[in-house]
Every structure is written in structure tokens, then in C-alpha cells.
Structure 1
């Protein structure tokens, strides 16, 4: 199989820390307004065919991001260390880190950094696309397998919501085995697993991962991934844009460095915490889905796709969908300050809803009657 070569320069991360297996679509206009995209998506278009216009936050919101980063940087570092220890215990030096673009990319870099810090191993790290209802980028997987024939792939993402991507990944790996006879571990490693959707995680607490607050400016200036037949050919990687014009607003490497500086504080307890998770043998029960179905019924929502649980997913709703309401478990939660700011700016109704395990839940507005 012939696979196209990657672009020599893509994104604002150091090229030694991640290889993006994405087709550069920077020269193509793919963005549309949130309202137009929502209308198209609810009319049957797939979300991956276009891109949202990147949210340009005001200074007050950026200041809030930095305060959140200072407040939770050690917690993020510990979760990184705990999940990294689990990965290394299972796969060791044969590990090939494969982040799911884009939220998984900074997490993959931090795991790579931690394992270099702790074990002095420099693991390969790639970022590839997976798209709900359309699967994983098989060309990217072939590329990685050709480069690392004896390696053991470890998929990485930021967090779980109700588990749609975990399920998509399992289905994609099963299909890949059926088509090519190659078995790939479908376990998804994440920092936070409030939906109980995986067995490799840093915590199951639904807390704020500060990189969820922003879009490309904490993700190497890379857009969401695109799968549009007009621009993506049969032998191409899935696509994305590099927003190089936003370089002055880029916080991607600042974010990574702030977390990395905390590794020394957490390294002494990380392995023990990781061992507890392994020893307890936590299952992937997808228990959060029961709550989603209850919320869907209670609020008269047509599709569970309109219910987005967890801090990370709720933030995505507020940043790039048309929100209807945001459900809040605890009004005094330290993980919701950025959402309160977004709700005020965008006139989103906040509803006190203590009867859920998630910290919050975003409900998308139905725009097609």
C-alpha cells in the first residue's frame, strides 16, 4: 500500500514530540458559523465535513485559563503520570503512542515527556484522526505499522464523555483486523474517565483539564480533523488545518511546560496510584450512558447525540455548538468557572441538576423543527 508522505511542517509543537499524520488543508476555506454548521449537522451533514470558526476568547477568559492552569497543573501532572505508568507497565519500550487528534495530542506529548523523565525512554508519538460514525484513519494506521512493525500501539485521548469515541475505536480496530488480519489493542488511555469507558485512566473524577478550555491555541494550532471527499482522497490521511496566523495567541507549549514542571512533585506516588488501578481491575462499564438516557428522557431530547456529559464535552458544546442548557451538579465546583464565563457571554441557561455523577452536562439546542 502506498501512503502519502506527511507535511514537513504542521502545527506549532516541536516535531520531535509528535508526528501529525494529517493532510494539510490550511489553504482551503472550510469554516462556517456555529449556527450554519448546527443547522447542516441536524439536517444530515456530517460534522467532520466542515470546521467551526475558532472561538477568539476575550482577555478575561484567557486570564481564567491561566488561573485554572495554575490551580490544576499538579492534578493534571499526576493524572498524566498515573496513566503513563500503566502504559509503560503493560507495553514498555515497545510502546508507540498514538494520540487521537486533536484533544489527545497534548496528552500524548505529556505522556511521552513523563516517560522520558522517569524511564529515559523516547517513545514514538503520532497524532491521527478518528471520527464518530466514520471510523479511524486506516492510512495513518498502515503508516505507523510500517514504521514500527514490532511496536505496540497505545491510543491516547484527553477524556471520556459517554464513550462514543471509545466505542468507535473498538469498532474500527475490529474492522481493521477483519480487513487486514492485523490485531491492534483498542484500549484508550485517558486522563479522566468519568463515563467509565476504559480501563486505562488517570482518574475517574470529572475534573477540568485546562486544555479543554480552548481550541487550537492549546492544541498546536491544529484544527479539528476533516473527512470530506472533496478534499480527502482514497490514499490521503484525514485532513486538518494549521492556523499559523494565530501564532501570537498560541499557548500550546506554555501549557505543556507548566504541566511538565510538576512531574518532580508527583513521580514518587504515581506508580503506586497506577498499581492500585491495575490491581482493582476496574471495568469499562459505560455506566454514564444510563444517566445520559435518563437526562435525554427527562428533558425531552430527541437524540442522545444532543447530550454531552462531563466538563470536557460540555466545554466543547459551549465553544462550538449551539447550546440549549448546561446542567450543573454543584454550583460551587472549582471546575466550572470557565463555563460560567462562557454561559454569561453566550447567554446559555444554567440548570442546577445534582442527581448526576458528572460535574456538568451540555445540552445542544434543536435547530431543525
Structure 2
């Protein structure tokens, strides 16, 4: 069985990455080439987008949104952490889904340590749409923490595709090994209404969605290619040492953590802790409406919510952006990015999300 190696720019006390270091490999491809390859059937996990040094404009967006939303983020972390404790107890292992889940998992770990004086183990592992969760990583966690329940963590839900992959993976794991792993997924924001353990269902900009490796411990998206990942290996990842000067991974964590003391004293203000929350998959239904209305060939070309739309504008080949309304201040950066990249913006108010990014088909049509 693989063993974890030091990886990433976070402290080992905050998270242990169960990922194979592929830093010596050249896996990056340009956006347009990568988009064409994916749309022609190549799996997205077999290559990586190029990790650019963030521009001044993107860093300004990150810092501005971080200051504007630090308290709101801390409250959401507190609420989802309290729900985890209430639902699962304190004898748990946090398992965040690399890479967007990693900073949220660290924040949950820090909140629980500060509030309850319980230092939960926290790992970050890979889950890949179309391939499933890293079973070697799961086996490692279960072997090293046999008495603890696993609590999966991610940053936010878009349409809920990874939520579905997690459920399918846990079912397949039980079928293959006879081991039950609960598929409960805790997220900071659930605008798609597809999980019951969340901090908020508001669709708002989580600053960590503005950046890539430089807010995720300087690691890449996870990689799974048969010539690089052996049967006993963890899924792969690259460490971007060359971006160390631009790294704000720990700054992000530390800034939100400074809000915890005040938030802990105010927790009785938040009645949503006591509510049962329906999982309606409202977001997925919206996506199906959008796919039909705009004649989009694949549901994977539709990226809903502020975070996902931001990422489409930053790192994919966007076709257009749908917004619920044009006068929402939370969408200011979306309009700026769309204008910068000459992407049309269209009002579509029949959705739960505040906005939705549509990826351009490179095979003709939308």
C-alpha cells in the first residue's frame, strides 16, 4: 500500500495529502487544445490545465472578495462544522476531496479544534468524474483509523455531479470489499440543493474559487493515467514550487480562522442548525432546463453557480454566461470577466443559481 509523502504548501498538521507526486511530469496543455481533447473523448484527468501566475486583476478579486466575505465564510464553516458534530459525533476522520475541498476541510478541522478541543485527522484524496474515488486512499484511511467514521468534505456543489460520483463510489467500494463507507458530503455552500450537510445554500463567491493551485496548497487538479498511476498508487498530483511567491493558501485559511472566536460566541443566532434540510436536486433540474433551452449537447458544458462560472471564465473556453438578474452586486466580477473575454451575458431567471457558465462546444454548434 502507498504511503503519504510530504506534499503541498499546507502544514502537515492541517492536512495530509494521499496523492502521488508527479511533479517531474509535463502534463499541462493549453486551454483550447485541452477543451478539444476532452470534447473528443479524452478523459479530463489525463492532462492538466496550465497553471498561470495569477494576474493583478485576479489577485485583486481574491483579496477584495476575501475581505468582503471573511465573516460570512467563517459563519458557514461554523454551521457546517456544528452539523457534522451533531450528525456524526467527534470520532471522525475528515476526508476532503482534492483540490477545492482541501481548504474547506482545513477550516472545519481548525474550527472544531478551537470550539471542541478535538484535533481531527484530516486527509485530502482524489475523486474523479467517470473514474470514481481513490480506493487506495480510502483503504489507507480505514487501516489507520479503523474506529472512526469518515466525513467527506468539498468546497461547494455545482450541479451535484461529484455528489453523485461519491455515492456511486461508496456503493462500489461496499460491493467490492464488503466495507460500508457513508457517502455524506459536507460542503461550505450548496446552491444546488443536493446535500444535507452544508454551511449555506446561498450562491456566493467563495474566494478560493477565484484561484487555482495558489489557494489550494500549490497542488494541481488530480491526475489518473494508467502509465503514471500503478494499481497500488494513490491518484497523482503536481506540486507547483515555481508559484511559491504567489501562494495565498495559508493566508486564506488564517484570515477566515481569525473570525472563529467571534463566530463561536454568536452561534445561538443561527437557527438553521436545528432545521432538517430537504435534498431536492433543484439545481440539477435547472441544468436540465438549460440544456434543453440552449440545445447543449452535454450536461458537462453547463457549470452553475458563482464559483463554477468564475472558473469557466478563468480557465475554460466560455460560450456565454446566464445570470438571474443584471443588478446583483455579487455578480460584479462575473460581468467584468465576461467583458474582458468578450463573452455574452444573458438573463435567465428560471434557476436557483445566481449565474451559470456555458462552455463553448468546439465541434460546432453551442
Report the TM-score when normalising by structure 2.
0.97
Q: Is 1:85–1:271's contact at 8 Å kept on the other side of the alignment?
A: no
1:298 and 2:303 are equivalent in the alignment: no
Map Cα deviations across residues 235-259 of structure 1 (whole Å, 9 max, x no partner).
Answer: 0000010001100000011111110
Map Cα deviations across residues 191-223 of structure 1 (whole Å, 9 max, x no partner).
Answer: 110111101000111111110111011100010
Residue of structure 1 equivalent to 2:108: 111
Shift of 1:57: 2.8
Match among 217, 233, 250 for residue 214 of structure 2: 217
Q: Is 1:55–1:319's contact at 8 Å kept on the other side of the alignment?
A: no
Residue of structure 1 equivalent to 2:284: 289
- The 2-side partners of 1:179 and 1:23 are apart by 23
1:208 and 2:223 are equivalent in the alignment: no
- The 1-side partners of 2:41 and 2:80 are apart by 37
- The 1-side partners of 2:14 and 2:291 are apart by 41
Superposition map of 1:218-237 within 5 A: 218-237=215-234
Residue of structure 2 equivalent to 1:14: 11
Superposition map of 1:40-55 within 5 A: 40-55=37-52
Match among 304, 310, 313 for residue 318 of structure 1: 313
Superposition map of 1:143-292 within 5 A: 143-270=140-267, 273=270, 276-277=272-273, 279-292=274-287
Match among 74, 77, 84 for residue 77 of structure 1: 74
Superposition map of 1:66-145 within 5 A: 66-145=63-142
Shift of 1:157: 0.2
Match among 348, 351, 358 for residue 353 of structure 1: 348
The change in CA–CA distance for 1:140 and 1:271 in structure 2 (over 3 A counts) is: farther
- The 2-side partners of 1:320 and 1:158 are apart by 18
- The 1-side partners of 2:333 and 2:17 are apart by 29
Could you list the runs of 5+ residues in structure 2 that have no partner in the other structure? none
* Alignment root-mean-square deviation, CA: 1.3
- The 2-side partners of 1:245 and 1:158 are apart by 25
- The 2-side partners of 1:171 and 1:54 are apart by 30
Q: Is 2:53–2:246's contact at 8 Å kept on the other side of the alignment?
A: no
- The 2-side partners of 1:333 and 1:26 are apart by 41
SS at match of 1:161: coil
1:307 and 2:307 are equivalent in the alignment: no
Residue of structure 2 equivalent to 1:5: 3
Q: Count how many residue pairs are aligned between Structure 1 and Structure 2.
A: 364
Shift of 1:276: 3.2
SS at match of 2:143: helix
Map Cα deviations across residues 90-125 of structure 1 (whole Å, 9 max, x no partner).
Answer: 223311000000000000000000001101111000
Report the TM-score when normalising by structure 1.
0.96
